[in-house]
Amino acid sequence: MSDRQNLVDTAEWAALQRHYQEIRGLTMREMFRLDNRRTEFTVEAAGLCLDYSKNRITSETIQRLVALAEACGLRLAIDDMFAGRPINGTENRSVLHIALRNRSNTPVLVNGKDVMPGINSVLDRMSRFADSIRSGEWVGHTGRRIRNIINIGIGGSDLGPAMAYEALKSYSDRNLTVRFISNIDSTHFVEHTRDLDPAETLFIVASKTFTTQETMTNAHTAREWLLKTLQDSASVARHFVAVSTNGPAVREFGIDTANMFEFWDWVGGRYSLCSAIGLSLMVGIGPERFIEMLEGFHAMDRHFFEAPFAENMPVIMGLLGVWYGNMFGAETHAVLAYDQYLHRFTAHLQQLDMESNGKSVNKKGEHVGYQTGPVIWGEPGTNGQHAFYQHIHQGTKLIPADFIGFMRPRNLLGDHHDKLMANMFAQTEALAFGKTAEEAAAEGVPEQLVPHKTFSGNKPTNTIIADELTPGVLGALIALYEHKVFVQGVIWNIYSFDQWGVELGKALAKRILGELQSENKPELTHDSSTNSLIMRYRNRRR
């Protein structure tokens, strides 16, 4: 495990703190008067443009943050990830989502073995399968064409493909219905299947382990639902395929492993969209579009690997997060996409960021003495403006935010898009520069209302823009956030690729399920609150 110097004991940390004390009182109004921030604080990569000028930073801030990244060994950490070294230390695994979209096809070694041939072969199988569904060549058990694809998976086996399918819906085959069932709540299954004909429905059971309670329960329910109508267990072969690393469990479920799409233990769930976990998406948008998305991921991967830190988009975004979280004490970070197709984007980032960096011990297992990953939240614009933006503008908390928008809409309708983008640009301007009491008074605001109609400004935002939401741009955008999370994990010296914090609840749920279902009502030995909740449920559930 890492024997790195404690973050807060480094000279670079101390220098950053001193610098923070010097500039914390500066306003963006003052900063924008001083220099040409727009050119200095803009970076372009992989079809994306990041304008980070509306942050509470100077050139020196970036220099000091970059110095901190260097002191924390970021270069070596990036090299280690790309070289396939086992950087997931608590599980002793490599972390190679970058290999899944390595379109240059250069060898990537795990334990001396090149993983690229395996990746390419699964991609080919996925493409053939997706084409066969889309062309109608693959038919259901009764000979009917498959019109409905349902992905059954949860967490990393759901959020990525579900988000990306929504994001790229305008590229999808609208004759196909693609849905995602994740929740153990029966409502999810019932509502997503009630209007579907089993003879035209194919389930993709997506589970790395093939043991996850929610996924296996939903998969068994799906099989019953199918057999209730088709009345022939042989039909499972035409209506179920699996995406997993666990061949024996797939076989035991009754899915022919010829219809299993493999991936590997060096692909973490929340980083698995580019693996076979993306099969439902590929069926929806077609293999060519899927490959375009991988190319966008790859372009951002190359940029992250190659660009100097001060010009490196994920590095800059990661460091800005450290600046606000560790110096200003910001606890949350809003991601506000001005595109309805990205309405699940923030949900995906919540898992990506919070499951990766919601940790409180460092790599040595010691309690960290500083803040780590922020709470990620947000809704698409402009909806959020009519809901929670009040808090960002005038609340007591500092909430750094990313605004994401596109120059061209996927659906041109009147002047909707001009209005959408006018709102997005207006928000970042308002947040940065606010409105002083004098300005409010000069507008004729009655004296007693002036404090209420004053905006302090100085609220930091990043603006991320691209020409259009294409598959490639989506790939680049997701990779940008993946690497941003990585950078922050390195600075905070935590293991970003495990998620032990989800285990305790799972284990207790298993025990409680036994207590709920056992006929002889075993004695309860939880705390008094949990005991009484269980008793109440037992007594009233029917």
User: Locate tokens 């992250």: which residue?
Assistant: 304
CB of 269 to ligand G6Q, least distance (A): 2
- Given the residues 166, 355, 379, 482, select the one marked as catalytic: 355
Q: Which of 47, 84, 140, 155 binds ligand G6Q (CB under 6 A)?
A: 155
Q: Give the integer Cα–Cα distance in Å for 3 and 387.
A: 46
**263 within 8 A of 272, measured Cβ to Cβ:** yes
Closest CA to 371 of 13, 67, 50: 13
Closest CB to ligand G6Q among 214 and 292? Answer: 214
Task: Assess whether 355 carries a catalytic annotation.
Answer: yes
Q: Give the integer Cα–Cα distance in Å for 436 and 457.
A: 9
Secondary structure element (H or E) that encloses residue 202, with its range: strand 201-206
DSSP string computed for 497-526: T--GGGHHHHHHHHHHHHHHH-TT-PPP-S
Closest CB to ligand G6Q among 218 and 493? Answer: 218
CA atoms within 13 A on the CB side of 75: 10
| Contact stretch for ligand G6Q (CB under 6 A) within 126-134, 195-203, 265-273, 322-330 | 265-273
Closest CB to ligand G6Q among 166 and 353? Answer: 353
Closest CB to ligand G6Q among 118 and 358? Answer: 358
| Using rule CB under 6 A, residue 53 touches ligand G6Q | no
CB of 291 to ligand G6Q, least distance (A): 23
Closest CB to ligand G6Q among 166 and 355? Answer: 355
Closest CB to ligand G6Q among 156 and 278? Answer: 156
CB of 355 to ligand G6Q, least distance (A): 6
**279 within 8 A of 204, measured Cβ to Cβ:** yes
CB of 125 to ligand G6Q, least distance (A): 19
State the sign of the Cα–Cα–Cα–Cα dihedral 8, 9, 10, 14.
positive
Q: Which of 154, 202, 255, 276 binds ligand G6Q (CB under 6 A)?
A: 154
| Contact stretch for ligand G6Q (CB under 6 A) within 267-275, 300-308, 340-348, 428-436 | 267-275
Could you tell me the CA-to-CA distances from 57 to 7, 22, 80, 487, 532 in Å, in that order? 21, 11, 30, 19, 53
State the sign of the Cα–Cα–Cα–Cα dihedral 529, 530, 533, 536.
negative
Give me the 341-360 binding string for ligand G6Q, x by CB under 6 A, dash otherwise: --------------x-----
Q: Which of 53, 102, 207, 312 binds ligand G6Q (CB under 6 A)?
A: 207
| Using rule CB under 6 A, residue 209 touches ligand G6Q | yes
| Using rule CB under 6 A, residue 87 touches ligand G6Q | no
Beta-strand relationship, 201-206 and 240-244: parallel
CB of 520 to ligand G6Q, least distance (A): 32
Task: Assess whether 386 carries a catalytic annotation.
Answer: yes
Q: Which of 47, 156, 286, 384 binds ligand G6Q (CB under 6 A)?
A: 156
Give me the 10-49 binding string for ligand G6Q, x by CB under 6 A, dash otherwise: ----------------------------------------
| Using rule CB under 6 A, residue 160 touches ligand G6Q | no
- Given the residues 224, 228, 367, 386, select the one marked as catalytic: 386
Closest CB to ligand G6Q among 91 and 114? Answer: 91
CB of 215 to ligand G6Q, least distance (A): 5
Closest CB to ligand G6Q among 182 and 382? Answer: 182
Q: Give the integer Cα–Cα distance in Å for 178 and 183.
A: 16
Q: Which of residues 475-514 bind ligand G6Q (CB under 6 A)?
A: 499
**271 within 8 A of 232, measured Cβ to Cβ:** no
Q: Which of 148, 157, 427, 462 binds ligand G6Q (CB under 6 A)?
A: 157
- Given the residues 397, 416, 419, 506, select the one marked as catalytic: 506
| Using rule CB under 6 A, residue 55 touches ligand G6Q | no
Q: 394 Cβ partners below 8 Å, 6+ apart?
A: 455, 456
Provide the token pair at 63.
Answer: 């220099």
Could you tell me the CA-to-CA distances from 356 to 217, 228, 327, 501 in Å, in that order? 26, 41, 21, 10
Specify burial of residue 471 (Cβ count, 10 A radius: 0-12, 13-18, 19+). Answer: buried
DSSP string computed for 221-262: HHHHHHHHHH--GGGHHHHEEEEES-HHHHHHHT--GGGEEE
Closest CB to ligand G6Q among 316 and 347? Answer: 347
The residue count for binding ligand G6Q (CB under 6 A) is 14
Could you tell me the CA-to-CA distances from 308 to 36, 53, 77, 314, 320 in Å, in that order? 21, 19, 14, 11, 16
User: Locate tokens 């050139």: which residue?
Assistant: 59
Q: Give the integer Cα–Cα distance in Å for 318 and 424.
A: 22
Task: Assess whether 169 carries a catalytic annotation.
Answer: no
**Residues labelled catalytic:** 355, 386, 506
Interaction site with ligand G6Q (CB under 6 A): 154-157, 207-209, 212, 215, 268-270, 355, 499
